[in-house]
């Protein structure tokens, strides 16, 4: 290879390195923001405003160990994962559908959150009792009639001050009537129903475990 060719190859290699260096890292706020804005959400995905509300709840409560029941493609898991990364915590995301679980796992890895978010494949009612330790945050967004079952499966492991969030509690209120009644009448919880997003014309229940 003559000197001219060597110079040309070197210049191309240098340009490639510079371009790569200028690309935002996958764990940077810039990259993650762009990734979430382009995310191919489905009808099962958490709405952007709801996902941001979850992140804020995690950060403001300084939650350390969280659970997500129902992951879909991982849009909510990424948003919550960012919150747990900031608090130095960890999120366990449970998904019964094998393909959705794998898609979520890959999306979580694409934004560098694989050390903060663990996607677990399987029936949450079987996985929840086997989770070790205590938890201070849970987001439930799976089979609506089973919300109470999910809560009861993990409730003994919820710390005092834990935050419990249920999704789709307006549209699917009848299907989870026992869950909502329990949280709204139990002396162990303070509960409010909110609308963080009008995208689905729905809302979330947010509960604080008093004792």
Which is nearest to 175 in space by CA: 150, 211, 138, 143? 143
Residues 190, 193, 177, 46: is their CA dihedral positive or negative?
negative
Q: State the pLDDT at residue 116.
A: 98
Residues of the chain with pLDDT under 70: 1-23
pLDDT digits (tens, 9 = 90+) for 160-188: 999 999 999 999 999 999 999 999 999 99
What's this model's pTM, rounded to 2 decimal places?
0.85
Cα distance between residue 198 and residue 211, in whole Å:
32
Strand-pair partners of 66: 91, 137
Domains and CATH numbers, the chain: 29-209 (3.40.50.150)
* 151 exposure class (CB count in 10 Å sphere: 0-12, 13-18, 19+): buried
Residue 24, SS3? Answer: coil
| 41 dihedral zone (left: phi>0; alpha: psi -120 to 50; beta) | beta
Q: State the pLDDT at residue 17.
A: 40
To which residue do tokens 């008093």 refer?
Answer: 210
Query: What does the buried/exposed string (b/e) look like for 123-144 if buried means 16 or more CB atoms within 10 Å of the residue's CB?
Result: ebbebbeebeeebbbbbbbbbb
Neighbours of 168 (CB within 10 A): 22
Residue 175, SS3? Answer: helix
Write the CB contacts of 203 (distance below 8 Å, at least 6 apart in sequence). Answer: 168, 169, 170, 193, 194, 195, 196
Name the phi and psi angles at 176, rounded to 5: -125, 35
Q: State the pLDDT at residue 37.
A: 87
* 7 exposure class (CB count in 10 Å sphere: 0-12, 13-18, 19+): exposed
């Amino acid at each position: 290879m003559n000197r001219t060719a060597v110079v040309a190859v070197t210049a191309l290699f240098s340009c490639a390195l510079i371009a790569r260096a200028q690309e935002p890292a996958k764990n940077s706020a810039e990259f993650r923001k762009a990734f979430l804005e382009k995310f191919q959400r489905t009808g099962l995905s958490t709405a952007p405003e709801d996902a941001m509300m979850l992140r804020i709840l995690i950060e403001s409560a300084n939650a350390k160990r969280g659970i997500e029941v129902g992951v879909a493609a991982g849009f909510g898991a990424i948003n919550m994962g960012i919150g747990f990364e900031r608090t130095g915590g960890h999120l366990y995301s449970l998904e019964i559908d094998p393909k959705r679980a794998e898609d979520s796992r890959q999306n979580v890895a694409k934004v560098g959150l694989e050390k903060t978010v663990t996607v677990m494949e399987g029936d949450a009612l079987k996985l929840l009792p086997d989770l070790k330790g205590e938890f201070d945050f849970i987001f439930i967004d799976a089979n609506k009639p089973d919300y109470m079952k999910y809560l009861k499966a993990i409730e003994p492991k919820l710390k005092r001050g834990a935050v419990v969030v249920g999704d789709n509690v307006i549209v699917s209120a009848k299907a989870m009537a026992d869950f909502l009644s329990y949280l709204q009448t139990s002396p162990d919880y303070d509960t409010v129903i909110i609308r963080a997003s009008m995208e689905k014309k729905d809302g979330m229940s947010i509960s604080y475990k008093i004792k």
